[in-house]
Every structure is written in structure tokens, then in C-alpha cells.
A and B are shown apart, each in its own frame.
Chain A
Amino acid sequence: MSSPSTVMLRRNFKHIARNPTSVFNAVLMPVVIMLMFVYMLGDAFDVGVDYVDYATPGLMLLAVCYGLGSTATSVNSDMTKGIINRFKVMDISRGAVLTGHVVASLLTNLVAIGAIIGLAFLLGFSPSASFLDWLGVVGLVVLLGFAAGWLTVALGLAAKSPETAGLSTVPLVMLPFFSSAIAPAEKMGPGVRQFAEYQPFTPIIETLRGLLNGTPSAGTAIAALAWCVGIGVVGYLWARSTFKKRA
């Protein structure tokens, strides 16, 4: 016998198996973008280091964001098609269905990030991270996936229809492009530069970059952790209150 959350996660896996295009998109899109920026245009960027080494951390983050759309859509269709009400009137832990979605979203993220790192090595990625640095990378990525997952579940619960739920994650998909993911913030125009410097993804990317270079910096790491925890807590509380309110 398994806990309700495990049963729900199994349900999410079956959904993915029946409808694999969503995960395919979540993995394929970041890979295509990586090929475009690194393989096709990489030599045009002058960032002081090999471009694949510069871009990989940002693309890992992009891989997380691209997975969120399908999570929001599937949470919303659970909500609007009434199956969530069925779960809510049962004597089981009420958050189980949401936990299932968050964990499935996180695992999709990890598959996409695995694909990005694999491709990066094929394109000549040469990180100088120690084993401990790698552990830090994995930890931060899992924390980010978890936090973004809860925020996405909240967006999915709050949206009117599955279509608008998918659209509501577009800002999260766009955000990495306005960070130091593709190019350093100081090379951007005024306005965009300040935005890129202070938005949450920049410290997260800089922390991943530092860890992969084997030169982690405590300052950015603390900012990155704070953003992740903040996003996660806001997402979790928002998801919980929407879940309780919407019948």
C-alpha cells in the first residue's frame, strides 16, 4: 500500500506516458535553443571564456522553465474538469494531488537538464567543478525545480482554462533571456541591464556558473537560495489557498 502522494505521482507518470509530447517539448526546446546559441551563433559571442562554458548554466535554467507550461496545463485541467473536487471530498491528504504534480514537474526538469548537460559535453563543455561543487549544482537545481513547480501549480490552479494556464508560464520562459543566461548583463542596453542584474534568475545562474567553474561565491549563492526559497514559499502558500477556495 502506498501513500496518496505516491498514488498521485504514479497517475502523473501515466499522463506523461499517454501524452509524451509535453515532456518532449520540455526537453527538445531547450536542446534546440542550445544548438542555436552555442553551435550556430556561439563564436559570435565575446564573453571572455569558451561560449559553451558560459551558456550552459543559463540553459540549465531555461530547461527548468520550459517544463513548466505542461505542468500548469495539466494542473488546470484537473481543476476545471472536476477531478480535483473528487479528491477533495475523499478522506485523504488534501495536498497529495498537488504534490504529485510538483514532483512530476521536478523530474521532467531533471530529464531536461540531463539532456542539456549531455549536449554541453558534446559541444566541448569543460567544467572545472569538484565533486562537492557538482553536489551544489544538483542541490540548487532541485531546489529551483521544486520552487518553480509550486509556483506553477499555483498559476495552474488560479487560471480560468488550460489554455490560459499554459500562457501564464510564458513570462517564466521569457525571464531567462532577460538575465545573464545568454549574454552578460553589462553588455545589455540601459533599463534591460538593470532588470537583468536584479531579477531572480541572474544570481541563480551566476551561482551555477561559479560552481561549475569551481569558483563558487557565497554572496550570489545566498541570494540564489533566498530567491528559490522565496519563490517556493509564495508558490506553496498561493497554491494552498487557491486549492482551498476554489470548489
Chain B
Amino acid sequence: MLDGIDFDVPAGTVFSLLGPNGAGKTTTVNVLTTLMKADGGTVRVAGHDTATEAKAVRSEIGVTGQFAAVDELLTGLENLQLMADLHRLGADEGRQVVTGLLERFDLVESARKPASTYSGGMRRKLDLAMTLVGNPRIIFLDEPTTGLDPRSRRTMWTIIRELVADGVTIFLTTQYLEEADQLADRVAVLDQGRLVAQGTPDELKRRLPGTHVRLRFTTAAELDAAARILTGSTRDDEALALRVPSDGGTKSLRALLDMLDEYAISAEEFSVHTPDLDDVFLALTGHTTEAVAK
């Protein structure tokens, strides 16, 4: 599943593993969090070997998996209390921590309702709150916003930023370039179990094809003519399309259209593209994310 991946995460930073479904993100998290053993190599978390010092690793980490791991039959309050009891916090300290987390995650009103009645966003919040009961210094977040509506996603981002401000180290997996861009200090791109790129979000974006305009024509002759006048463009003969670098602003678009007009060339189709995860993948691996998705 995973093939020789290698990275370091400095304490107090956010490291994001970016990749499509089936790339091996969850497997990586499972290995790092002692749920699975790697066939080879060494993994050290907080200075402890995950294979030989699993208990020491577990005492340092908090994990919020891809699917909210809350007890649906218990209320939000009981879920948090369960974690406090398992961490052997005393009655007073436990109550304090639980109340504090309910307030911080805006769950006070629904604290006495069973978790099965919670919305997706509330479940994720409760899940993360449960992870925080033990006050871990390293937190693993496996696709914390997949399936959330845009508003809940923003809330989750704010919470993650607050954790970072408290000095927590975060290992985050995501399918969304934007999310890695927003939160991470360093990003690694995972594809079919291999790391294909690593760097700061800015470094990665520089390696991407920038925003561009895509023009599609009806005849090869028109494509030829357009390719001659638009320097710096790349052509796709099969689709009779031309890719023209552009900043996507109205001024440069007008200039482009004027130029086509001037040479009496008309394009069948016109669209503006900004880079997304598909472009990262195309640029880094030569295939799109769909080819990998299960």
C-alpha cells in the first residue's frame, strides 16, 4: 500500500498529507498512530518508535479518524466524560475539562442529547473535543472536513488554527488543496502510496500550471491559426483545444478576445481554469485524481 515514504514534522507545525481517495493517507495515519505496523523502516512519533514503544507514543498523541468515532448512544456530555474517565482525570478536573470543551466547541446546548441526533459538523466537533480531553501535544486529523458543508469546514479550520496557536503539532490529511494551503506549514503529496512532492504550499503552487484559459475550436485550421498568434500557448490536437496562460482578470481576457477578433478566429468554447488538486496531480504524476480513485 505504502512505498518508501519519508518525512519529518517539526514540533509545533502543521504538516499536511495531500492526496486523492485510495492514495494511502489513512494507511499512513494508521501506521503513525500504532494501529498498523509498517513492513519495514522506522517510524518515530514524539521521539518514540511506534513499533517498540507503542504505549509511549499513544500517551502523547490524539487521533481523530476519518469517520467521527463517537458513541452514538451516549450524549455529547457522556462521550466527553467517558474520555475523561479513561484518562483517569479526577471528578473535579474531569468536570472542568468537559465543561470547557463543550463551551469551546459550542456544544453546550446539545450536550444532553444523544450523539446520534447530531449533524455531521457537530459530530466532527464532538470527535475532536474527545481527542482533546487528554490534552495531547501531537494530533492526527484524518480528513477532518471531508463531507462537511462550507460553514462547518470554516469552523473546523478556525479550531485547528487555535490548536496550532497553543503549540500543538498537527498531522493533517486532506483531499483539498485549498485546505492544505490554508492550514499547513508543509505539504506532502501522496499518490498511490508514494510521496511525489514535498514543500511549503507556495513552493508546490509554483510547480503547478497557473491559471489559464482554454479555447476549443471546430477545425484544425482555426486551431493552427490561433496557436500561431497566441505565443506561449500549449495545444491539444486531439481535443482541438488551446491552453493559454492568463491571470484570469477581465483586462487580460478582453485583450485575448480582441486578439482573436482581430484575426477573425472564433472559438467554439471558452473557459477559465484555476489550479486545483487535479492540476497538481496532472503536473506531478502525469495522471488525474480520478485514475487513482477506487
Contacts and interface: CB of A to CB of B under 8 A. Distances in A.
A14 B59 contact: no
Contacts of A86: 63, 65, 69, 130
Contacts of B33: 89
Given A18-B114, A81-B67, A247-B30, 12 more contacts: A7-B82, A7-B86, A14-B74, A81-B69, A82-B67, A82-B68, A85-B35, A88-B34, A89-B58, A89-B63, A92-B86, A247-B35
Nearest to B55: A91
B73 A18 contact: yes
Interface string A57-89: 000000000000000000000000111011111
A185 to B, nearest CB: 42
Interface in B1-39: 30, 33-36
A19 B69 CA distance: 19
Contact of A85 (B69, B70, B86): B69
B134 interface: yes
Contacts of B69: 81-83, 85-86
B85 A89 contact: no
B71 interface: yes
A157 to B, nearest CB: 15
Interface string A85-129: 111111110000000000000000000000000000000000000
12 contacts: A7-B86, A11-B71, A14-B78, A18-B73, A82-B67, A82-B68, A86-B65, A87-B86, A89-B34, A89-B61, A90-B86, A247-B36
B112 interface: no
B109 to A, nearest CB: 20
Contacts of A19: 73
Contacts of B85: 2, 7, 10
Interface residues of A, number: 22
Interface of B is mostly: loop
B72 interface: yes
A160 interface: no
Contact of B65 (A7, A18, A85): A85
Contacts of A90: 58, 86-87, 134
B249 interface: no
Among A85, A89, A92, A247, find the residue whose CB has the most chain B CB atoms closer than 10 A: A89
Interface in A1-35: 1-2, 4, 7, 10-11, 14-15, 18-19
4 closest A-B pairs by beta carbon, nearest first, are A82-B69, A91-B59, A247-B35, A86-B69
A73 to B, nearest CB: 12
Given A89-B63, A247-B35, A11 B74 contact: yes
A85 B88 CA distance: 19
Interface string B28-57: 001001111000000000000000000100
Given A83-B70, A85-B69, A1 B88 contact: yes
Contacts of B232: none
Interface string A208-219: 000000000000
B90 interface: yes
A70 to B, nearest CB: 13
Among A7, A11, A81, A83, find the residue whose CB has the most chain B CB atoms closer than 10 A: A83
Nearest to B140: A89
Nearest to B65: A82
Contacts of A2: 85
Contacts of B66: 82
A33 to B, nearest CB: 28
A1 to B, nearest CB: 5
Contact of A15 (B30, B73, B88, B134): B73
Nearest to B32: A89
Nearest to B91: A1
A81 B68 CA distance: 8
Contacts of A82: 65-69
Nearest to B34: A89
Contact of A81 (B55, B63, B72): B72
A10 B86 CA distance: 12
Contacts of B74: 11, 14, 18
A83 B71 contact: yes
Contacts of B86: 4, 7, 87, 90, 92
Among A4, A11, A91, find the residue whose CB has the most chain B CB atoms closer than 10 A: A91
A41 to B, nearest CB: 39
Nearest to A3: B88
A190 B15 CA distance: 69
Among B70, B73, B78, find the residue whose CB has the most chain A CB atoms closer than 10 A: B73
Nearest to B67: A82
Given A4-B86, A14-B78, A82-B67, A88 B35 contact: yes
Nearest to B74: A14
A178 to B, nearest CB: 35
